[in-house]
Amino acid sequence: MAVRTGRRAFLIGASGVVMEPMLATMSAPGAIALPAAIGQTLEAPALPKGGASQFAEVNGVRLHYVSVGSGPVVILLHGWPQTWLAWRGTMERLASQFRLIAPDLRGVGLSERPPSGYDKRTIAADIAALVDHVAGGRAHVVGHDMGGKAAYMLANLHPESIEKLVLVDCLLPGTENMDALRGGAWHYGFHMAPDIPEMLTKGRERDYIAAQIRAWSHRKGAIGEAEIAEFARHYASPGGMAAGFAYYRALREDAALAASFKERVMNMPVLAIGGRYGVGAKLAEAIARQARNLTAVIAEDSGHFVAEETPDFFCEQLQRFLAA
């Protein structure tokens, strides 16, 4: 059955039931090697009221997404180390005005985990196909963190898919400071290293994800233990962490592609939201060279996770921008 509501079980296996997809082990250059999945049960978390859990075959990959509400379609793209669940609060607040679609990105949550395709060009193609599937080819797109990088690629490679673009506390591909000795974020290099992060986080996925979320949050309790446990449960499933790290391992390729966009103009309206204790104004400064119609705001009491740390402010900004 394609649609699931409430709390349902998704099984890994080959028995014909709905399955949590796995990544196969591959030896091709650039592929991520992952263990074969073993039988286990993963429950979908509580959905927004009136929401549905669905699947779509797009761009050669099976994506899971949650939908709720009615009105103009808004695609919500999560980042690391999260799943669609990052948007549940936003979906509950805005369901009366918009049809909100929150996918698990390729390799994450209940979406299929292929061994490759974690560069943002491919992720953008996934989302363009999803927009075709759920919205007939055009929708508002909101992206946070890695989802923001994918949304930026989508805006440059598939501009016809986007009505309005919202980027939330993310750094554009190629603008990341990966040198910790120069004040950059240490985790970039760690996540990009082959094999080592998988080895060192194995069995400690929840601890590692919790530490990452707390380090990047200004309001430390905004993302609760239940949500952290839910994120960790999916990333701890076979191949979950490897898929998450694969998004980082593709960043050099992403940066090379993004460098070719310097002369491109983004004609759709763009909203850039930075957390004061996150990327701040860096996002707006980076996107200003391309965006003809840019609105920039700062969430003053927020770190990286703007939607969770300042939900009222975030939803107010989103509603105002998308409805204009």
Contact (CB, 8 A) for 34 and 28 = no
Percent of the chain with pLDDT over 70: 86
Is pLDDT at 36 greater than 70 in this prediction?
A: no
Confidence of residue 43 (pLDDT cuts 50, 70, 90): low
pLDDT given for residue 234 in this prediction: 97
What is the overall mean pLDDT for the chain?
Answer: 89
Share of the chain above pLDDT 90, in %: 81
Contact 144, 78 (CB under 8 A): yes
In the block, tokens 């759920």 appear at: 134
For residues 8-17, average pLDDT: 32
Does 82 or 28 have the greater pLDDT score? 82
pTM listed for this prediction: 0.88
Map tokens 């990088």 to a residue.
Answer: 149
Q: Which two tokens stand for residue 201?
A: 């986080």
Mean pLDDT for 54-77 is 98
Give the class (CATH, top level) of 9-323.
alpha beta
pLDDT in tens, 104-113: 999 999 999 9
* pLDDT single digits (tens) 257-267: 999 998 999 99
pLDDT at residue 273 tops 50: yes
Other residues' Cβ atoms within 10 Å of the Cβ of residue 177: 12
Q: Residue 134, SS3?
A: helix
**157 pLDDT exceeds 70?**
yes
Q: Of all residues in the chain, what percent are helix, strand and coil, respectively (each to 5)?
A: 40, 20, 45
Per-residue burial over 78-101, b = 16 or more CB atoms within 10 Å of its CB, e = otherwise: bbbbbbbbbbbbbbbbbbebbbbb
- Per-residue pLDDT, 44: 57
Q: What is the DSSP string of 76-126?
A: EE--TT--GGGGHHHHHHHTTT-EEEEEPPTTSTTS---SS--SHHHHHHH
Mean pLDDT of 236-240: 97
Q: Is the pLDDT of residue 208 over 90?
A: yes
Whole-number pLDDT of residue 180:
77
Summarize the confidence of residues 89-114 as an average pLDDT: 98
pLDDT-derived band at 247, boundaries 50, 70, 90: very high
Query: Mutual orientation of helices 251-259 and 240-249 as an angle, nearest 10°?
Result: 30
**pLDDT for 285 beyond 60:** yes
Least confident of 170-184, 187-201, 267-281: 170-184
Looking at residue 166, its pLDDT comes to: 99
Question: Domain boundaries in the chain?
Answer: 9-323
What is the structure's pLDDT at 45?
Answer: 65
